[in-house]
Structure 1
Amino acid sequence: MTGVDRPSGDSAGEGPLLLGVRHHGPGSARAVRAVLEAARPRAVLIEGPPEADALIPLAADEEMRPPVALLAHAVDEPGCSAFWPLAEFSPEWVALRWALDHGVPARFIDLPATHTLAWDKEERPPTAGEPGDAEPEPGDAASSPEDEASRSVHGSGDALRVDPLAVLAEAAGYDDPERWWEDVVEHRGAGSGDPLTPFTVLEEAMAALREEYGTGGHRRDTVREAYMRLQMRSSLREFGPGVAVVCGAWHVPALRRRTAVSADRALLKGLPKVRTDMTWVPWTHRRLSRAGGYGAGIESPGWYAHLFAAPDRPVERWLTKVAGLLREEDRIVSSAHVIEAVRLADTLAALRGRPLPGLSETTDAVRAVMCEGSDVPLALVRDHLVVGDVLGEVPASTPAVPLQRDLARLQKRLRLKPEPTERELELDLRKETDSGRSRLLHRLCLLGVGWGEPTVSRGSTGTFRETWRLSWEPELAVRIAEAGVWGTTVLGAATAKTEGDALAARALADVTALAERCLLAELPDALPVVMRVLADRAALDADVGHLAQALPALVRSLRYGDVRGTDTRALAEVAAGLAKRVFVGLPPACTALDAEAAEEMRRHVDAVHGAVVLLAEGAREADGEIRARWRSVLRALSGRDTVAGVVRGRAVRLLLDEGELGQDEAARIMGLALSPGTAPADAAAWIEGFVGGGAGGMLLVHDERLLGLVDAWLTGVPADAFTGVLPLLRRTFSAYEPGVRRTLGDLVRRGPKAQGSAVAVGVGVSGFGPDLDAGRADAVVPVVRLLLGLDSPGNGDPGEPGGSDLDGSGSRREGGELVGVAR
């Protein structure tokens, strides 16, 4: 290792071996491995945070599987963090593993994370609260370690930031830096010629760029490079001249330059500091492909991993992988397709003047030969192979915050392994394991760790069912570190954070939503605090809108308490008191409203109605009182002329659905509301409230009198007022199902006479009648019971052996009739 200059202060000819690389470049990784095998250095220095030196031995652990990343976070503020991702094809990872395999000391020599995080903290915008919000500097964690190679020249503040590879590619006549890099580096055969040649050539190119652009707009490079030079001097004194340095090629000219030790130390004076912890965390290929945030900006990590791992014939092996993937998706792909795709890729490379086919040529060949010109299966190839779904692993002995260790223990016990791909998880809360999974996911949501997101189930809608959409992202490690300030276990941290959120909540609806989430997560110690805050806020809040918003979430919580076995008596008392306050304040609040406020109040009425029904079911002893008071409120709303038309119409509709109004009475009230003396806009609003929503159309289909009243009113609207009511009517009828709109159109086209002549068979539509046909309805019950499994062995009648009033689907049988199916 002669002929390499040392930094200032050392004699020439005994300097370190500088290996300038492209971070996450498989060609650079192969070249680094070849040079290290040939030179056999006494020590290996790697661009990275020196606080991670103690973690280097873990890279040789059998449980360590790249891609992984070094995570540094401020002890007092875990959200202030940074990542240094490393993949199997990263030159830094190759150098690290070579040193460990050969018993050679390895050290990181970049600027310590204690300064980097403090620097980031000072420069972070006031609104930045998400990890990775601040734009990364070259060499910082957010860019892979220090990779700017995949980004073009762009602005950062007032300075122009230079992408070295983009400039070199442009000088060579390429419009794509990735294509240029493949041609000059990736397609260069391993073991061909002197292994130092690519590093020598790349250093010369970077020296010319540094002479032209200086630091290229990278403000921290001067300080970082000064620190690296000091570390190199220290290593040379300790190990002698046999030292190899693996760093970004952009830094090599600066590290080669002779400078005074005092000048380098002067640049490091006064740097901010913050107390820092460091660990290994799993990473993903998908995260490596993202240019923003913590991503490394590698467009095709799966392709790069293939190039690094393929010993020979990379194109043939790649296209064989593609064929296998497409066959798994039931596409017809034969060996002949693979052979033809290889030939086409070779031909395209020759036509384009490339030494070997690259990703663009293989992609074009796959599209033409295997996908028949379609981009749909090609998107699958890109997602699963070009990018990939690889998730790294770290050893169990890796340092971690106590909360992370508790989470790992729960994941293992519940058999809920983190996966990088998005998947749906169906849970049956009657099973112990699924119930535990639900609790864990809800508690993590309360902690801000968004591993899972609740979604609508495509199957049963019973309260014992839950559906989650799971996707593990590396940034969740930061969220877990942040949540560690609340406790050392998931249960303890979720309890403490829920109590803090309840005390800090401003809106009453926020507290009721927190109470619901508290029950879902089963936090018995936090629930009393939340309920005390809820009672205090409800007593002080006089806004009926706020109370109406808060009630539904509170009542929903009672349902989940039944399924999960949680004591919800205190919750029921607060909910009942809140409902009574809504009953008192709702009628005055519905007067003198404009159109927008009236629509919002209509939504509140719907929400309160649904909540009252659930509340009455959950408190059977107060069923009559609660529902009777609510019906009296609806009657008051339906009969006051000062109440907005949309609210009056909805009140009448709800009374009709509850059976409190007969069809004749409902028709009479509608006739009054649509009389010629009513302003067309008010009448249209009343109609919207009465028949708005998905079920309103079926009401008109079933009752020819109501449809006739609407039809007569609509045809009598004056021409000058019609344009004013048209938007309301369009909004009302557009919510109906297409089949319902078609049926209504047929009924209106036939006219009143045709409808009237069909009284014996309903409204002229087969299957509809003016009243309920109890005989036909009873005929359906045996089929419904068979579908629900109520007549299967072991599901006898109540009182019989094996019988049950409440079956597994949530259906209740009373008096031999099915009164609730999959509630």
Structure 2
Amino acid sequence: MSGAAPGRAAGPDGAGPPWPLLLGVRHHGPGSARAVRAALDACEPGAVLIEGPPEADALVEFAGQEGMRPPVALLAHAVSDPGQAAFWPLAGFSPEWVAIRWALSRGVPVRFIDLPAANSLAMAGRTEGDPAEGPLEEAAEDPAGRVRVDPMGVLAETAGYDDPERWWEDVVEHRGTGAEGGGAAGWADAVGPFAALGEAMAVLRAEYGHGGHEHDAVREAHMRLRLREARREFGDRVAVVCGAWHVPALAGRATVTADRGLLKGLPKVKAELSWVPWTHRRLARHSGYGAGIASPGWYSHLFHAADRPLERWLTKVAGLLRAEDFAVSSAHVIEAVRLAETLAAVRGRPLAGLAETTDAVRAVMCEGSDVPLALVHDRLVVGDVLGEVPEAAPAAPLQRDLARTQRSLRLKPEALERDLELDLRKETDAARSRLLHRLRLLGVDWGTPAASRGSTGTFRETWRLRWEPELSVRVAEAGVWGTTVLSAATTRAEAKAVDATALGEVTDLAERCLLAALPDALPVVMRALADRAALDADVGQLAQALPALVRSVRYGDVRGTDTAALAEVAVGLAERVLVGLPPACFGLDADGAAEMRGHLEAVHRAVGLLSEIRADGAESPDGGGGKDGGGGKDGGLRGRWLAVLRALAERDGVSGLIRGRAARLLLDDGRLAEGEAARLMALVLSPGTAPAEAASWIEGFVGGGAGGGMLLVHDERLLGLLDSWLTGVPAEAFTDVLPLLRRTFAAYDAGVRRTLGELVRRGPAADQGPRPVGDPPAPGFGPGLDEDRAAAVLPTVRLLLGLDAQHDNEGNHENQYGTEVPG
């Protein structure tokens, strides 16, 4: 038979099953999995061949170990380019997985017979986005745009079904095998469905040829060669578990020479394979080998439910809804079962399928609402199951180090998205933070930073975690940088620093290095930072880079990192900003002025923070240089910055938006007396200033984002000036200034706008002079501050901010910056 196709041989006297036993299946079909198990029990082959990459033969033994929990996947990646990868996913209800476990439990040899991953990866090349899944022809769209045949869809349409999933459920999933307890059915009953499906596929192949799957000929030639090898090694009693589409090609006749000719000259790369965890959610994606299953959670239930699958499923649904505080009782379950069975009878289905159960759940348990039904679909129909791989399974060095670190930090990968709150004063939480930051630097986004619901101090971090199977490929890719997470992140940071072209990239990198605790990478990053800062003459770029740099110094102080050199660079960068910012504020259009206002605010915050930090990262002796900005280098820096703000606030030729914001920053900082602020406003709102420029100044001074509404509420003198100017704007100019004013005041809270309206209706004090005796003040405002009433709200404020819970034994608590202040 060396020159012929793998012919079929019957058992003794023609009484046994035809060998080799070709079991055509639907990937990840629980009905196919049950049928495969029944056929193997009935026929007891001497070897089992599986559609999959032959390089996985060395890994198949791990499938039988106790630590292996499906869903899992075989991951193949090119050694020279780990991002060039492919997956072969296997769920607990996959026919291939059932065949592997059956063979391992009985000591039967298992071989994979598909095209080697070394060839399929080279033929597919590297694609953008997610790695490919499984066989080459199903890993991507047809490049020529031709329609590929869906054999199940054609058979369903022929049978009069408009939904292939529903047809498959009726014909296969709801069909009993009679052999689930251990092979009670005869071989003819067990093999019969596979023979019928093979005949149907033969008709389809005769009609459609390769059906748009152009690489099938190459793959099937390799399958036939491997089948011949297995028959020479193990005899004719060989079972083949493969996609039903391939059965006619394996049963047909072809010469060894022809098959080898098809395989000659195929491109090849060096590939490595490993087991990785998979998820039900990933099985539900509509791409790749065996994927696109609409309901993996439902299929898993059908496969593992020993009896009464409908009742067990609806009980699961009720439990989920009750856990989410929906009023669902056992009576709902009973009624839902009855409705699902009735719907199945009316629709002519042998058993209630997913469509019937979904309709019953919507009507009985969800009261017609799709909102709780979406929860059922997400948690149960699809599911968040994440598989497990034993520690002994082969893995890249970086993957092993990551797994060890995850175990030591008790940070288990999970498919379900969850929030992780970290207190960086605790060593375990600090180590978790370092790991997540290092992984992000490597492009492994297991966790993403999220807004904290509690304290906003730098001792707190919140992460949103979710492990996706694709991250295994990212870990493999990151393996080129090092064998441990720390060494890989360090090398990657150094490479990014050398390749960075913009100052902002380097400052961001410096901040990430501090967060990830990469002290060995900091010298390289610091040199790159100094070089870029010296060459960058764009004040906007410098101003944009300064806040991140100052945050890095602050993080170093919080995390106990030596940031003296970083602080020196930050001070030097701030000096350059102080010199270059005033000239850069002249001659700007509206968009340029708006961008510069953002830089102004960012630099103001950065200088304020920098002034409180000595070059060695400790607090300055005078807490920031004192009110006059003196007291050392940082204090002098703050003083010079305030002088820059004053110059901008009073200088003609600078956009009103910038002048107004500079005046407001000075006022908020206590460096501009209220009378001086009123003088500046009066000058700007005088008849000599164009209405549009005056409106721009108002937006900068009392813009909604700066709390200007409360400033006007509490300073009726400023409100009176504004009211007088607004009522005196000429009619022809009012239309031009209205959009600016609307943008300014629309950002105020509703309560602030209402109070301002009441004050204006009553008439501001600036217009009325002293209020007559007995004249009631505006609602909520008295003649002075009532300290007792103000103090009454403090316990509630402390409770909302969580300050009481943060008291230590000495009565101190953490403020919003993460530092301890007296209670």
- Change in 2 beyond 3 A, CA 1:341/1:47: same
Matches within 5 A, 1:14-53: 15-53=19-57
RMSD of Structure 2 on Structure 1 (CA): 2.6
1:713 aligns with 2:743: no
Q: Deviations over 1:561-600 (max 9, x none)?
A: 1211001111110000000100000011111111111100
Q: Deviations over 1:214-272 (max 9, x none)?
A: 11111211110111111111111111210110000011111111112111111111111
Q: Deviations over 1:544-566 (max 9, x none)?
A: 00000000001111221121100
Determine helix, strand or coil for the equivalent of 1:591.
coil
Determine helix, strand or coil for the equivalent of 1:45.
strand
Q: Deviations over 1:631-654 (max 9, x none)?
A: 111011111221111111100110
Paired residues of 1:673 and 1:686 also in contact (CA < 8 A): yes
Equivalent residue for 1:751, pick from 763, 767, 771: 763
1:513 aligns with 2:528: no
Q: Deviations over 1:697-743 (max 9, x none)?
A: 11111111212222222222233333322222222222222221222
Paired residues of 1:646 and 1:689 also in contact (CA < 8 A): yes
CA distance in 1, matches of 2:548, 2:808: 38
Matches within 5 A, 1:763-774: 764-766=777-779, 768=781
Post-superposition offset of 1:765:
3.8
1:650 aligns with 2:665: no
Post-superposition offset of 1:758:
4.9
Paired residues of 1:406 and 1:489 also in contact (CA < 8 A): yes
Aligned to 1:131: 130
The one-letter code matched in structure 1 to 2:810 is: N
Post-superposition offset of 1:330:
2.2
Post-superposition offset of 1:155:
6.1
Q: Deviations over 1:647-683 (max 9, x none)?
A: 1110011011111111111111111112222222211
Paired residues of 1:761 and 1:768 also in contact (CA < 8 A): no
Equivalent residue for 2:398, pick from 397, 400, 403: 403
CA distance in 1, matches of 2:788, 2:550: 36
The one-letter code matched in structure 2 to 1:187 is: H
Paired residues of 1:7 and 1:257 also in contact (CA < 8 A): no
CA distance in 2, matches of 1:399, 1:208: 43
- Change in 2 beyond 3 A, CA 1:216/1:661: same
Determine helix, strand or coil for the equivalent of 1:160.
coil
Equivalent residue for 1:321, pick from 301, 316, 319: 316
Aligned to 2:225: 230
Determine helix, strand or coil for the equivalent of 2:77.
strand
Aligned to 1:148: none
Aligned to 2:178: 191
Paired residues of 2:137 and 2:215 also in contact (CA < 8 A): no
Paired residues of 1:84 and 1:142 also in contact (CA < 8 A): no
Determine helix, strand or coil for the equivalent of 1:343.
helix
Aligned to 1:788: 803
Post-superposition offset of 1:759:
8.9
Paired residues of 1:698 and 1:740 also in contact (CA < 8 A): yes
1:729 aligns with 2:741: yes
Post-superposition offset of 1:760:
9.1
1:622 aligns with 2:633: yes
CA distance in 1, matches of 2:49, 2:130: 28
Determine helix, strand or coil for the equivalent of 1:196.
helix
Aligned to 1:151: none
Aligned to 2:60: 56
Aligned to 1:672: 683
Equivalent residue for 1:164, pick from 144, 148, 151: 151
The one-letter code matched in structure 1 to 2:708 is: G
The one-letter code matched in structure 2 to 1:719 is: A
Aligned to 1:116: 120
Aligned to 2:597: 602
CA distance in 1, matches of 2:381, 2:725: 63
CA distance in 2, matches of 1:317, 1:626: 71
Aligned to 1:281: 276
Deviates more, 1:699-708 or 1:710-719: 710-719
Structure 1: stretches of 5+ with no match in the other structure: 144-153, 797-803, 819-823
Equivalent residue for 1:631, pick from 617, 637, 642: 642
Runs of 4+ displaced beyond 6 Å? 759-763, 769-787, 790-793, 804-809
Q: Deviations over 1:23-77 (max 9, x none)?
A: 0000000000000001111111000000000000000000100000000001111
CA distance in 2, matches of 1:64, 1:760: 85
- Change in 2 beyond 3 A, CA 1:683/1:759: farther
Aligned to 2:361: 366
Deviates more, 1:293-302 or 1:465-474: 293-302
Aligned to 1:8: 4
Post-superposition offset of 1:432:
0.8
Deviates more, 1:732-741 or 1:221-230: 732-741
Post-superposition offset of 1:292:
3.7
Paired residues of 1:287 and 1:294 also in contact (CA < 8 A): no
Determine helix, strand or coil for the equivalent of 1:617.
coil
The one-letter code matched in structure 2 to 1:110 is: D
CA distance in 1, matches of 2:230, 2:687: 96
Aligned to 1:539: 534
1:579 aligns with 2:574: yes
Post-superposition offset of 1:622:
3.1
Determine helix, strand or coil for the equivalent of 1:659.
coil
Aligned to 2:16: none
Post-superposition offset of 1:141:
7.8
Post-superposition offset of 1:771:
7.8
- Change in 2 beyond 3 A, CA 1:97/1:762: farther
- Change in 2 beyond 3 A, CA 1:790/1:391: closer
Aligned to 1:176: 163
How many pairs are equivalent? 787
CA distance in 2, matches of 1:624, 1:762: 47
Aligned to 1:821: none
Determine helix, strand or coil for the equivalent of 2:612.
helix
Paired residues of 2:78 and 2:269 also in contact (CA < 8 A): yes
Paired residues of 1:789 and 1:795 also in contact (CA < 8 A): no
Determine helix, strand or coil for the equivalent of 1:111.
coil
1:463 aligns with 2:458: yes
Aligned to 1:682: 693
Paired residues of 1:6 and 1:256 also in contact (CA < 8 A): no
CA distance in 2, matches of 1:445, 1:196: 51
Determine helix, strand or coil for the equivalent of 1:448.
coil
Post-superposition offset of 1:137:
7.6
Paired residues of 1:83 and 1:141 also in contact (CA < 8 A): no
Matches within 5 A, 1:331-480: 331-480=326-475
The one-letter code matched in structure 2 to 1:687 is: I
Determine helix, strand or coil for the equivalent of 1:523.
coil
Paired residues of 1:109 and 1:227 also in contact (CA < 8 A): yes
TM-score using structure 1 length: 0.91
Aligned to 2:624: none
- Change in 2 beyond 3 A, CA 1:60/1:782: closer
CA distance in 2, matches of 1:7, 1:341: 60
CA distance in 1, matches of 2:815, 2:718: 39
Structure 2: stretches of 5+ with no match in the other structure: 11-18, 180-184, 615-619, 621-631
CA distance in 2, matches of 1:762, 1:601: 45
Equivalent residue for 1:309, pick from 304, 307, 329: 304
- Change in 2 beyond 3 A, CA 1:771/1:191: same
Post-superposition offset of 1:88:
0.4
- Change in 2 beyond 3 A, CA 1:304/1:44: same
Post-superposition offset of 1:165:
1.1
- Change in 2 beyond 3 A, CA 1:424/1:319: same
